[in-house]
Structure 1
């Protein structure tokens, strides 16, 4: 396992070790908390020496994502190096039928992925759940609120970026991870509106579980790459926007 210089993962160097806990756990353990047989991270000397100070071996963490997202034989031919993160991300988006532009930045493509999950969940919500979600999101007129209206509102938040987009990202990612690996983000509590998170956890859980079942038959590697990419998206948003003042919706 060797790290390929990757501009879309290099930000991990600046992430606090504590915030990397969830990503490292996902790469090294399955949903039942059992150590993954195929992972290589915990066998590395840097991991053994510095764990749990993940920042000191962030390149190994990034390399693990790259290798899980690559074909095993191709990785061997590349001297143990996997594929760049954007390729891993786009592969997942293809499997999950996400509409995206391959020329867009990874931040935008990650938002497209999260919006696909969120949209599918909203489509499954009952009218009373939809109204409660609208209220928690700060929408004034909730009479006859439709799934399309809620999807449009959240799309606008993602497009605007900033702290509110970060909060929405954390809400979605937290619900997805609870469904996929049985635990949410360790830093979700202070960043997201608890009420909104509670409303969305069920519908997103049902949605992602169905997608997971459909995708899982293709390759067991998706059990690692899907939650890993989802967590990278949250970490990226936190690194970019967590320090911004809270001025928009969800306030």
Structure 2
């Protein structure tokens, strides 16, 4: 998980802390807020390492039941669930294939891409049409693509038909729409408003449609309070990591 967290911006850390904050578990949210405050005040390797280590411990705790966490701790084992297991659990909950073997960063990116592609295919043709037009695709081109695809979409085909910027916009819109469904529209909008002031990349293509998508399920469909945190965290890590790859490619 560290390979993902280390490439992110302090604003990402603040967003992630906002997602996982809770009064209903034993994990120390106050500590996370204090550590992210330190990174924002002075973005040093030491402050980053302290936050990233604490956040991974927090997420691994969320991915493990209180009973199993206490058992592992009492028996001298790593108390939290392995991050790879959490990614697999999220994939199962989202009904997508488990990401292939690779680094944690590669796996969360693959999961986010697979989920967004699947959810786009499950939207009605009218919703697909509207999303593509909102992303800047001409109406005739969007209609032709939807008719030709027959409800079967793959990421390489989307990129080939349109361009990477359009596809990134599609993925961002669906990911943030899902996060809004899980943690609540008001909280997502508040956290997103914080992000866009610091990371302009998020602004491109994400509009009100993200909060009103017919994703097909709500927080009530997600089993347990922990999954209502680990799913948004994993999806956000995937799309934020993609952002950093795009940024690095543009600067190369």
Same fold, judged at TM 0.5 (above)? yes
Report how far residue 163 of structure 1 moved: 6.5
Structure 1: stretches of 5+ with no match in the other structure: 1-7, 30-35, 247-251
Preserved CA contact (<8 Å) 1:98 1:116: yes
In the other structure, the counterpart of 1:191 is 201
Paired residues for 1:77-92 under 5 Å: 77-79=71-73, 81-92=79-90
Which residue in the other structure is 1:241 paired with? 246
Separation (CA, whole Å) in 1 of partners of 2:175 and 2:157: 18
Give me the TM-score of the superposition, normalised by structure 2. Answer: 0.70
What is the aligned residue count? 225
Distance 1:63 1:215 in 2: 22
Check the 8 A contact 1:67/1:81 in 2, yes or no: yes
For residue 96 of structure 1, report the CA deviation from its aligned partner.
Answer: 2.3
Q: Name the structure 1 match of 2:177.
A: 175
Match of 1:152 in 2: 153
Change (3 A) 1:96 1:52: same
Equivalent-residue separation in structure 2 for 1:180 and 1:193 (angstroms): 21
- Cα RMSD of the aligned pairs, angstroms, is 3.6
Structure 1 window deviating more from structure 2 (176-185 vs 146-155): it is 146-155
Mapped contact 1:69–1:83 kept (Cα < 8 A): yes
5 Å-filtered alignment, 1:125-140, equals 125-127=124-126, 129-135=127-133, 136=135, 138=137
Q: Is contact 2:116-2:171 (8 Å) kept?
A: no
Pairing of 1:1-251 with structure 2 (within 5 A): 8-29=1-22, 36-44=23-31, 47=32, 50-54=35-39, 55=48, 56-79=50-73, 81-106=79-104, 107-108=106-107, 110-127=109-126, 129-135=127-133, 136=135, 138=137, 141-146=141-146, 148=149, 152=153, 154=155, 156=157, 166-181=168-183, 182=185, 183-184=188-189, 185=192, 186-187=194-195, 190-192=200-202, 194-195=204-205, 197-204=207-214, 206-209=215-218, 212-216=219-223, 219-245=224-250
Secondary structure of 1:25 counterpart: helix
Q: TM-score, normalised by structure 1?
A: 0.70
Partner SS, residue 187 of structure 1: helix
Q: Deviations over 1:79-98 (max 9, x none)?
A: 26212212101011112221
Which is helix-richer, 1 or 2?
Answer: 2
1:133-192 deviation digits (Å, cap 9, x = unpaired): 333353662345427467626454579x97766544433322222222231434357225
Q: Aligned partners of 1:122, 1:77: CA distance in 2, in Å?
A: 42
Aligned partners of 1:169 and 1:237 also within 8 Å? no
